[in-house]
Chains A and B, each alone.
Chain A
């Protein structure tokens, strides 16, 4: 599989159809992979793909991160189904245009939840939670796919969120608050969750704004709650569920539980799934005149 992608990447780089391929390469120790930027055709053999390739690469298509770099006309990117959802969402939000990217789709059986859990085989106990509910093992939109791409029906709803979300939601409000209070005690506001998110694309994040100072910078209860709740609300109807925020968290707070919950709410209330259409408008900025609630009239 990876051979076909290498050949195609080699051809495209040689013909200057794309300026760079963003993919995965071997990391510094055998359990890890690392994002690689291949600019020369002879380097394509560095590209690999296996269940260790957890990183969501579309973050390198985010303007806030300074990508695509100046002079890059078209960027090749290796995308798992979930990454391609993120790319689609970026296009829907006008952060990227479709002809700026060349997507190498890869079939994916799931990735490990964390590098440290990789021992050579992918099992239920080390597979990332997002993979068990995945309907894009075969990507839904790509420019190149190794071999024949089978048609998959993706019209159905997302699968329900991880059981943990529901367990948490079934708790009484004060218990749930206690849970988060305890979790957030560890947060020291490194903003890794923001930096790794493909959809955090503001030049100046609301938490960095000082006129007015909407969110307290200090990592105390108020500041931490302020940040995480704002982040969750800013991603309503936009989060494509790559789970990178939780993985990047150095103190292991499961911040994507918020996002998963909001994803369920958005889908339940408005029937909207983010990352599946480049043209459909997210529910929070539109209204329908035939809405079942008639207050809008």
Chain B
């Protein structure tokens, strides 16, 4: 277990060091997030800002995760760590952690942009909103990161292996949608004890556990 954590930290710190020094994603996202927020705001209006926020974050995350996964691919198109004597779930798990970190940055930029664009983006329950953001980010990062890493390495029919975690993805999306709708409708205490939010937390844990295992299995077997 110690070795697992050490290796996860090692790969995560490698990514963090590269990001801090090279700013490979941060600068790109600093431009993409406000641009996409503006486009979404113009097209969808300010009737439901919370939904708009999550939808914008989802689209930006879809683009960003491809860039992050590509950093693990060598010039020859292979995973750099394919020959490393580690379980590949370690690589996937650390990439998910790094993607959570990037997603938090995305959330902040999108929130600030939408807040500046609209007079309507007033959050009654900011703690509930932040908690929902975190839960949404963890699940989304697990799904997208695993999928993009698998896409880089596995060609053709092998990609269908991702269907294996559909029974986790669908409830995650439904529960996210329900939680977003409940935010603002329920008082803070009731929101935290709602089935949708608690179910979302449970599926986050499942996704965070199953996704790296699926990735390792699909590559090594």
A binds B: no
Instruction: List chain A positions with a Cβ less than 8 A from chain B.
Output: none
Which residues of B are in contact with A by a Cβ distance under 8 Å? none
